[in-house]
């Protein structure tokens, strides 16, 4: 979907990150002891279902409280004009990625410090 909409860099990043996460999970599951896979799954079935339902409800309530706790307007509302006027680019994603790379010390060489950006008049 990202590649069709004109963001192949975002699509490639998403694919790589998801691949690394999948390989990490598979390697973690392979390192579990063999007795984990041979236990009787019917034991404590009702307790496991109740525990799963409890944690699902807990996460749902936490998400609802977090969404209702927002008191300020999100900064993403300002992204369109900031990327065009301050970042001098029409693609919000690319301008944001470039600006975030400037924040990290590994993205720039020590001999070239970041240049100050012009503020909005």
Residue-level pLDDT, tens digit, the chain, 121 residues: 776 777 788 888 889 999 999 999 999 998 888 887 777 777 788 898 999 999 999 999 999 998 888 788 888 888 888 888 888 888 888 888 887 777 766 555 555 555 555 555 4
In the chain, DSSP finds a helix count (H) and a strand count (E) of 5, 0
Distance CA(52)–CA(34), nearest Å, equals 24
This prediction has a pTM of: 0.40
Within 13 A of 114's CA, how many CA atoms are on the CB side?
A: 14
Please spell the DSSP secondary structure of 63-99, one letter per residue.
HHHHHHT--S--GGGGHHHIIIIIS--S-HHHHHHHH
Helix (H, G, I), strand (E, B) or coil at 55: helix
If you compute the radius of gyration of the chain from its CA atoms, what whole number of angstroms results?
23
Amino acid 121: pLDDT: 47
């Amino acid at each position: 979907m990202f590649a069709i909409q004109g963001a192949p860099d975002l699509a490639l990043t998403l694919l790589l990150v998801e691949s690394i996460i999948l390989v990490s999970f598979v390697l973690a599951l392979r390192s579990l002891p063999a007795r984990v896979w041979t236990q009787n799954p019917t034991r404590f079935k009702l307790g496991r279902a109740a525990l799963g339902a409890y944690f699902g409800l807990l996460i749902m309530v936490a998400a609802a409280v977090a969404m209702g706790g927002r008191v300020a307007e999100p900064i993403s509302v300002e992204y369109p004009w900031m990327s065009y006027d301050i970042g001098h680019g029409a693609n919000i994603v690319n301008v944001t990625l470039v600006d975030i790379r400037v924040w990290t010390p590994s993205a720039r060489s020590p001999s070239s410090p970041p240049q100050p950006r012009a503020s909005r008049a």
